[in-house]
Amino acid sequence: MVRSRRNPVKEVTVDRSRHRTRLGAVHARQATGLRANSFAFWTSACVARVYAKPMREDRRQVFKLIGGLMLSSGAVSVGYYLVTREGAIDEWVAVGPVAELPVNEITMKRLSVTEHGLVTARPVEKVIWLRRMSDDTVQVLSGACPHNNCTANWIPEKEVFDCRCHNSVFAPSGAVLAGPSARAMDTLEQRIQSGVLAVRYQKFKKTIAAKEAVS
Ligand code: FES
């Protein structure tokens, strides 16, 4: 390289210490800014937390209240269902020879069957009413009054079935004559094999007009 005297090449020297100082100041400012930003963020977060705390607790209380109400109403529903649920009975029982039944008379029989609750089963005794016809067919009626499951009794002198609980009265065929029962006495399925009568004892839903088995 040729150097001219008029335009001497200026030596550029870098004052590294000043440069470092300036850089240091920039970094310091940036760091201070960051710290300031962090501090502002932290402060606002704390303030938000302080102000949000009572709201969060209120909300928690409300959720607890709603949860408690839902749980207690669910428990009440389950308890009501368990208390009011009827046990189901569905069982074929051998009753005896048809020839032993008096013709055209209404005869009571007691059957031992099993009632199935939600988790348990227990033996129970149930009444049925039999009427042997002249052609040796048999009318079989459940003794459980369809109104509310009291036993309907045969009153020979009046020739009616009478339920004393709420005064429902039924004809010999089981048809309703008086009282609150919404349907006739329930007929039961039956079969006669080799002269022996067997009856399917079922429990039917009380109160309602339709004949529906409890299941
Ligand atoms: S239970 Fe028979 S009339 Fe009510």
State pLDDT tens for residues 44-64. Answer: 554 455 455 555 677 777 767
CATH number, position 162? 2.102.10.10
User: Is 215 among the domain residues?
Assistant: no
User: 91 CA distance to ligand 1 centroid (A)?
Assistant: 24
User: Is 213 among the domain residues?
Assistant: no
Compute CA distances 90 → 87, 152, 188, whole Å: 10, 20, 11
Do 27 and 102 sit in the same domain of this protein? no
Ligand 1 atom having least distance to the Cα of 145: 2
Ligand 1 atom having least distance to the Cα of 179: 3
Do 106 and 198 sit in the same domain of this protein? yes
Do 66 and 157 sit in the same domain of this protein? no
User: 201 CA distance to ligand 1 centroid (A)?
Assistant: 19
Ligand 1 atom having least distance to the Cα of 149: 1
Query: Strand, helix or coil at 175?
Result: coil
Do 126 and 142 sit in the same domain of this protein? yes
How far apart are the C-alpha atoms of 101 and 41, rounded to whole Å? 97
How many domains, in total, are found in the chain? 2
Task: State which residues of the chain have pLDDT below 50.
Answer: 1-5, 9, 12, 14, 19-21, 23-26, 28, 31-32, 34, 36, 46-47, 50
CB 114 within 8 A of CB 203: no
Do 29 and 77 sit in the same domain of this protein? yes
Do 95 and 46 sit in the same domain of this protein? no
Do 133 and 170 sit in the same domain of this protein? yes
For residue 22, the model assigns a pLDDT of 52
For residue 40, the model assigns a pLDDT of 56
User: Is 141 among the domain residues?
Assistant: yes
Do 49 and 103 sit in the same domain of this protein? no
The verdict on the CB of residue 145 being under 6 Å from ligand 1 is yes
- For 160, the token pair is 């009616």
pTM of the model: 0.65
The verdict on the CB of residue 165 being under 6 Å from ligand 1 is yes
Domain closes at, from 84, 118, 135: 84
Tens of pLDDT, residues 145-172: 999 999 999 999 999 999 999 999 999 9
Question: Domain span at residue 29?
Answer: 15-84
User: Is 111 among the domain residues?
Assistant: yes
For residue 58, the model assigns a pLDDT of 72
103 Cβ neighbours under 8 A, 6+ residues apart:
132, 133, 134
